[in-house]
Structure 1
Amino acid sequence: MHDERFPGLRRRGFLAATGAATLGALALTACGGSGTDSEAGGGDGGTPKRGGRLRAAFAGGGASETLDPHLANLFADVARAKALFDKLADYGADLSAQPRLATKWEANRAMDRWQVTLREATFHDGRPVTAKDVLYSYRRIADPEKAYRAKASLEPIDLDASRATGERGIEFVLKRPTAEFPNVLAAFGAYIVPENAGRKAGDFDRKPIGSGPFRFVSFTPGRSAVLRRYDAYWEGAPHLDELEFVVANEESARVNALLGGQVEYAHELNPTTARAHEGKGQIEIVRLRNSAMQGFCMKTDRAPFDDRRVREAFFLIADRKELVDGALSGAGVVGNDLFGKGYEYYAADLPQREQDLDRARSLLKQAGAEKLKVRLDTSAVAAGFTEAAGIFRDQAAKAGVTVEVRMGSKDSYWSDILDSGTLACYRSGAMPIEAHISQRLLTGSTTNATQWRHKDFDALYRQSQSTRDRAERAAVYQRMQRRLYAEGGFLIWGFADWILGTAKNVKGVQTGAPANTLDWARFDKVWLA
């Protein structure tokens, strides 16, 4: 397993960071939903057809796999959890909170107490989902003796003081003002289970009971899980009769199974595979845009990157298009040294940074670093890392900078680069911009890979969290992002597509949102034509 403290991912890992201390996007009353009518196959796909079994191939975790949703880490784990369970909210296409089991949330004036109202929904055994189930689930996640995924995300909540205000009402008492509290409800892994579920070891693997669109049939760790339509699902019964998750760890195995008709959905394909089959008529290629931020992190607390002129020079050395074309095989878009392109609060009005070697050389000269030598840590831990390191090494040479590329261990890379070194390849999946800031860019952030620690920046973050008006809060986020754009430690050169493959008869696969958001792996919306 990769280091759970760190927001990176391994080859078969989960795209988003582990939970942030405070996540999200404020909505005083939640309404609407996320999603898109786009689907694999193009067009409207015709009228949804009921029936059939869809087989979906994912890379798995072997014999240690579990259906405990609070332990979900790999993509396969999360896809199964999403089918069986629900959260109070989930992330929409722009990474804002969208209502799920929670139908409404309201804050007090101080933003430190939130009243949440549950919708009418039932678990697979017919019991209603109640406030007691929610509080039990959150307290289970927060167990100090356990390593549940969403534990850090729920940290702002004082669970001892929080209480049920009725069967479907909960008052969450917070430790501090948290304007983005709705995204705490959407946190990765914050699934709601029935009160007392999981008290006995193996409960979730024998017969898990959730409130999701599919109910449990069978599970063999490392091999398959079979689920069946839950007709009483609050959002409407799925079109499929059954859904089977099949484990195929190698990308070639997933592709061959798809081509051979053994599965109808293959998760996580590489760009070369996509190019080979896109538009050829045998299978459909689905691209989930802006799913993974790609970049380099510069340690801002040590030489040479403690000089902002050197950091700016490195921003100007990067030829982003060359990096996207070479390291991602063109499966992505260029970045602009800010996280969250297309997400809520993203500072899209800042000018796109271009390569400027003359200006880079001038800045290095001003900083006394004309013949700079620096080590770049990389690893085969994530697709494109080694390619990006080699491309950037050659780009830097044109500015008179010598970059020594050092390969690191796939098993320990993320923990190795958190505090050590000066420059490293970096990657992150979809998460709210606020979560990126709170988890990685505050003085007390535990995954601060750039060692960015500024009290005035921390103060801006606190201001954002105590600002009730969304427009005013957005303006504070803009100020923080302009600061990072000018002198931050993340050189963000691209945003990668996440690529799926489906059989021609699979319809309803949502394509308008990044991986890890509400519409990713929404098998309850899929049908077989």
Structure 2
Amino acid sequence: MYDERLPGLRRRGFLAATSGAAALALVGCSGGTDDQAQSTSGTPKRGGRLRAAFAGGGASETLDPHLANLFADVARAKALYDKLADYGADLSAQPRLAEKWEPNKTLDRWQVTLRQATFHDGRPVTARDVLYSYRRIADPEQAFRAKASLEPVDLDASRATGERTVEFVLKRPTAEFPNVLAAFGAYIVPENATGTDFDKKPVGSGPFRFVSFAPGRSAVFRRNDDYWEGAPHLDEIEFVVANEESARVNALLGGQIEYAHELNPTTARAHEAGGQIEIVRLRNSAMQAFCMKTDRAPFDDKRVREAFFLIADRQELLDGALSGAGEVGNDLFGKGYEYYAAGLPQREQDLDRARALLKKAGAENLRVTLDTSAVAAGFTEAAGIFRDQAAKAGVTIDVKVGSKDSYWSDILDNGTLCCYRSGAMPIEAHLSQRLLTDSTTNATKWRHKDFDALYQQAQSTRDKTERAAVYERMQRRLYTEGGFLIWGFADWIIGTTKRVKGVETKAPANTLDWARFDKVWLA
């Protein structure tokens, strides 16, 4: 089962939830009291322990970075480990352990040069470590998240050409190969990590070193003074588990933690003007959509799909389902991301045009079932709002509420219309993973050989401007007749005490600066 808040994340609904602030297992102190004078300058202050609460995975949690699935897993992994690249705020790949990369003329071989960095035990990060890590991820006997992202790479043919240089041989031209280096879960571990107990003595190259780990309760990491990008401001970071949002909020208000991950819009609105905590909104973090199956009636007729595009009042959906915490969509993924086709006109509700299209398609008095679930914030609310909007165009929508535990697998192949959402990922990855004929998570069943050919053309195009033009052609096609009715982009919401400074506000969830604590300090 997959949770599309972050691409491919397994949902945590099966976890035994804790509740109340007493559920937090806190170690030590935060390095100061809440009544200390707050810093009014932008000058970082060194020292202290920051306590950050996330929903966790119970006793089965691990610090193996290649098994990271939940938000808590990822936050801990990026504190201990590095990737060769990571995604910037616009979802373009930014160098991390890789100092630079360069393709050959045909884009099927890439030379990657590593920066000078060391693991926590003092050993240098080398090309051998990189190849070992990627081959471990690609092990067919394992179920590591980044395996699918590494599929374009021929790891048997790839080789170290020097202590800090790797030649990656690809199975086909791949202009966006840096996205592979930034893939979710593609962390670099030491070459001898086979015998390492990741939960008792993990060795990474990240900004924090391991101190302790109690699965389902707490993980404590200490500043790595030798970190290649500079030592963190904090002495220590403690990740604590609180599965219920109320537990995270109560702990934040009670001074038991300084950082609470994942608040819902209603909670944020209630506390935003209260003065006790800071609300941080990470814009464009989650696409909100209705997914129409294009291979079956009634949505195998593009006139019906266009009619549904015109039925939606996007602002009403945003206000009603997300308490206004976000911005309206335009039926395209990745608003504000690299390659986004921003020049297309904003689609508005037009019920007269929608009724006319339905009449031409012979779909007057249409009745369809909309699958939804409480699996994600705003899903059931959005379903009810859209049902009422559709009624104004003569369409009857029957809302069917499914199981939170099986929703993502249920809707992938079944039904005709469903609520859908996705976390941040590059537009190229969205196209390749969801909209090609052989895409494994093709929820709209969009299968067009000419569209596949455009994707391959983009991947074979070295010039970025020319490549962007191909991506725009693909997006124009989806805007006109695709199966995703993308009505909004939700904010990702974090709460902190007023002592916490340096939290990046322009980083969508699942990017480099999201849940990144080496640049944060306590005032």
User: Per the shorter chain, which TM-score range?
Assistant: over 0.9
CA contact (8 A) 2:3 2:11 kept: no
Q: 1:447 to 1:126 in 2, by over 3 A?
A: same
**1:317 and 2:311 equivalent?**
yes
Note the residue ranges of structure 1 that are not aligned, 5 or more in a row. Answer: 14-41
Q: 2:394 aligns with which of 397, 400, 404?
A: 400
Cα offsets for 1:480-520 (capped at 9, x unmatched):
00000000000000000000000101000000120110110
Q: Deviations over 1:340-367 (max 9, x none)?
A: 0000000000000000000000000000
1:279 Cα deviation (Å)? 3.1
Is the CA contact (8 Å cut-off) linking 1:439 and 1:448 kept in structure 2?
Answer: yes
**How many Å apart are 1:2 and its aligned residue?**
4.0
Aligned equivalents of 2:522, 2:45: Cα separation in 1: 7
Match of 2:495 among 494, 498, 501: 501
Contact 1:108 1:114 in 2 (8 A): yes
How far apart, in 1, do the equivalents of 2:498 and 2:240 lie?
19
Check conservation: 1:3, 1:415, Cα contact below 8 A: no
Which stretch shifts more, 329-338 or 271-280?
271-280
State the Cα distance separating 1:196 from its structure 2 match: 2.0
Q: Are residues 43 and 487 of structure 1, via their aligned partners in 2, closer, same or farther at CA, if it must alter by over 3 Å?
A: farther
- The 5 Å alignment of 1:3-402 reads 7=7, 12=12, 45-199=41-195, 203-402=197-396
Partner in structure 1 of residue 24 of structure 2: none
C-alpha displacement of 1:165: 0.5
Equivalent position amino acid for 1:154 in 2: L
| Deviations 1:171-213 (CA, angstroms, capped at 9, x unpaired) | 000000000000100000000000021435xx10011000000
Q: Structure 2 CA distance, aligned partners of 1:64 and 1:50? A: 34
Secondary structure class of the residue paired with 1:254: helix
Shift of 1:46: 2.5
- CA deviation digits over 1:31-55, x for unaligned, max 9? xxxxxxxxxxx99843100000000
Alpha-carbon distance, 1:76 to partner: 0.3
In structure 2, the CA distance between the partners of 1:3 and 1:332, relative to structure 1 (3 Å rule), is: closer
* Cα pair distance change 1:9/1:323, threshold 3 Å: farther
User: For the residues of structure 1 that align with 2:400 and 2:422, how far apart are their CA atoms?
Assistant: 21
Q: Give distance in 2, aligned partners of 1:493 and 1:46.
A: 37
Is the 1:134–1:192 contact (alpha carbons within 8 Å) kept by the matching residues of 2? yes
CA distance in 2, matches of 1:169, 1:431: 27
Question: Residues 3 and 412 of structure 1 are in contact (CA less than 8 Å); yes or no, is this contact kept in structure 2?
Answer: no
TM-superposed deviation, 1:246:
0.5
Superposition pairs for residues 403-418 of structure 1, below 5 Å? 403-418=397-412
Which amino acid counterpart does residue 521 of structure 1 have in structure 2? A
CA contact (8 A) 1:45 1:508 kept: no
* Equivalent residues, number: 499
Indicate if the aligned counterparts of 2:368 and 2:417 stay in contact, CA closer than 8 A: yes
Q: CA deviation at 1:273?
A: 1.1
Deviations 1:280-313 (A, max 9, x none): 2211000000000000110001100000000000
Contact preservation (8 Å) 1:91, 1:518: yes
**Shift of residue 522, structure 1, vs aligned partner:** 1.3
Change (3 A) 1:89 1:198: same
SS at match of 2:433: helix
CA distance in 2, matches of 1:511, 1:279: 18
Structure 2 Cα separation of the partners of residues 416 and 101 of structure 1: 39
| CA deviation after TM superposition for structure 1 residue 11, in Å | 6.1
Instruction: Determine the C-alpha separation between the residues in 2 that align with 1:525 and 1:330.
Output: 30
- 2 CA distance for matches of 1:431 and 1:9? 12
Q: Unaligned stretches of 5+ in structure 2?
A: 14-37
Which position in structure 2 is the counterpart of 1:29? none
Q: How far, CA to CA, are the matches of 2:40 and 2:10 in structure 1?
A: 35
* Separation in structure 2 between the aligned mates of residue 45 and residue 498 of structure 1, nearest angstrom: 26
Task: Please tell me whether the aligned partners of residues 10 and 381 of structure 1 are also in contact (alpha carbons under 8 angstroms).
Answer: no
The Cα RMSD (Å) is: 1.6
- Counterpart amino acid of 1:168? R
| Aligned counterparts of 1:519 and 1:226: Cα–Cα separation in 2 | 20
Instruction: Tell me if 1:454 matches 2:433.
Output: no
- Name 2:462's counterpart in structure 1: 468
Report the residue type matching 2:253 in the other structure. Answer: L
CA pair 169-10 structure 1, distance change in 2 beyond 3 A: closer
Which one-letter code corresponds to 1:47 in the other structure?
Answer: T
Give the whole-Å Cα distance in 2 for the aligned partners of 1:439 and 1:43.
45
On the 8 A contact 1:7/1:447 being kept in 2, the answer is: no
SS across alignment from 1:442: coil
Contact 2:2–2:11 under 8 Å retained in 1: no
Comparing 291-300 with 407-416, which one deviates more in the overlay? 407-416
Work out the CA distance in 1 between the residues paired with 2:58 and 2:115. 36
Distance 1:189 1:196, change over 3 A: same
**How far apart are the structure 1 equivalents of 2:41 and 2:178?**
34
2-side partners of 1:495 and 1:386: how far apart? 16
* Distance of aligned partners of 1:361 and 1:145 in 2 relative to their CA distance in 1, 3 Å threshold: same
- Tell me, in whole angstroms, the C-alpha distance in 2 between the residues paired with 1:3 and 1:478: 28
Cross-structure match for 1:34? none
SS of 2:465's partner is: helix
Q: What CA distance in whole angstroms lies between the structure 2 residues aligned with 1:9 and 1:428?
A: 10
Q: Aligned partners of 1:168, 1:218: CA distance in 2, in Å? A: 31
Amino acid at match of 2:43: T
Q: Contact 1:198–1:204 at 8 Å: present in 2 too?
A: no
Aligned residue number for residue 33 of structure 1: none
Check if 1:521 corresponds to 2:509. Answer: no
CA contact (8 A) 1:84 1:212 kept: yes
Please state how far the C-alpha of 1:7 moved relative to its aligned partner.
4.5
CA distance in 1, matches of 2:327, 2:489: 5
In the alignment, residue 448 of structure 2 is paired with which amino acid? H
Equivalent residues of 2:9, 2:70 under 8 A apart: no
- Cα distance in 2 for partners of 1:46, 1:314 equals 48
Counterparts of 2:364 and 2:40, CA distance in 1: 57
Q: Which residue of 1 aligns with 2:472?
A: 478
**SS of equivalent to 1:295:** strand
Answer yes or no: is the 8 Å Cα contact 1:9–1:382 preserved in 2.
Answer: no
